[in-house]
Amino acid sequence: MNNFSTCKALVISLLVFNLFRVSLASVVSTGDFNKDFFVMWAPDHVNTSSDGRERSLKLDQESGSGFASNQMFLFGRIDMQIKLVPGNSAGTVLAYYLASDQPNLDEIDFEFLGNVSGEPYIVQTNIYVNGFDNREERIYLWFDPTEDYHTYSILWNLHQIVFMVDSIPIRLYRNHADKGVAYPRWQPMSIKTSLWNGDTWATRGGLDKIDWSESPFIASFKDYTIDACVWKGNPRFCRADSSANWWNRPGFSTLTRDQKRWFKWVRKYHMVYDYCQDNQRFQNNLPKECFLPKY
């Protein structure tokens, strides 16, 4: 074999190897909670179906509960079907989120704030970057989330973070790092859920406390999908432009026309609180991202 052929074969081998490494970075979940997650808190308050396809968390006066993914991820999309705590759930908080578990914490949060019977459920979203948060938004859900399962999704890529409810975008956080706005883009995160007592703040600012006579409080999960880049110790595999890392492609750098329409609908009719409109809290010095485009 001449030198040209040898070099060509070497280049092809390296390309195949790198593609293989990148393809290993993407995972499609098994759908079995026992295989993809571990119980991180109060195993006697976590119940899993015999086939591993459904799981519930319990909160009572003894304890809350929670579980977390075995793997950590850097970018991707996570979908989880959840049925929230029914009845008088005031004071309870169900959290479903991504977290980096580092001192300079990165976190992408869904928090479902319990309600007094008959009142709409509030969803709070928040984003921590390098240990700092103060980026809360709240919306009322437009349906009863305790009657059936609904899909709650996080799309996290190099361009944006999108929170979705049944595929409807309810919140965007754009990557404006080039303009000095902090964005979670280096730390891998695991998927976590927990059900706990938040009655010092969760419902009407802590005015409505948990009624323990209504316990145990149960939240249920099923039919999750994890399509994300598994952390292997080097962020470049998760940032690579490849078919495996589909979420980083230009087509997912912003919302589609229909998504923008739904997003505006949520903001107009269901928004409860937006930190970017709270001048009093920030003493008329709103964070920089509040003045930059969302898409």
What is the distance between the alpha carbons of residues 70 and 2, in angstroms, rounded to a whole number?
A: 48
Residue labelled with tokens 């505006």: 264
Q: What are the DSSP E strand ranges found in 1-36?
A: 26-28
Q: How many whole angstroms separate alpha carbon 117 and alpha carbon 211?
A: 12
Closest CA to 187 of 250, 229, 243: 229
Q: Distance between the two ends of the chain, CA-based, in angstroms?
A: 53
SS3 100: coil
State the CB neighbour count (10 A cutoff) for residue 78. 23
Distance CA(95)–CA(75), nearest Å, equals 20
Nearest residue to 193 via CA among 46, 67, 81: 67
Token pair of 139 as six digits: 């919306």
Q: How far is CA 95 from CA 82, 110, 162, in A?
A: 11, 6, 17
Catalytic residue numbers, as ranges? 107, 111
The per-residue DSSP string of 223-276 comes to: EEEEEEEE--S-HHHHHS-SSTTGGGSGGGSS--HHHHHHHHHHHHHTEEEEGG
d(C-alpha 43, C-alpha 53), whole Å? 17
Which helix (H) or strand (E) segment is 22 a member of?
Answer: helix 3-25
Amino acid occupying residue 116 = V
SS3 101: coil
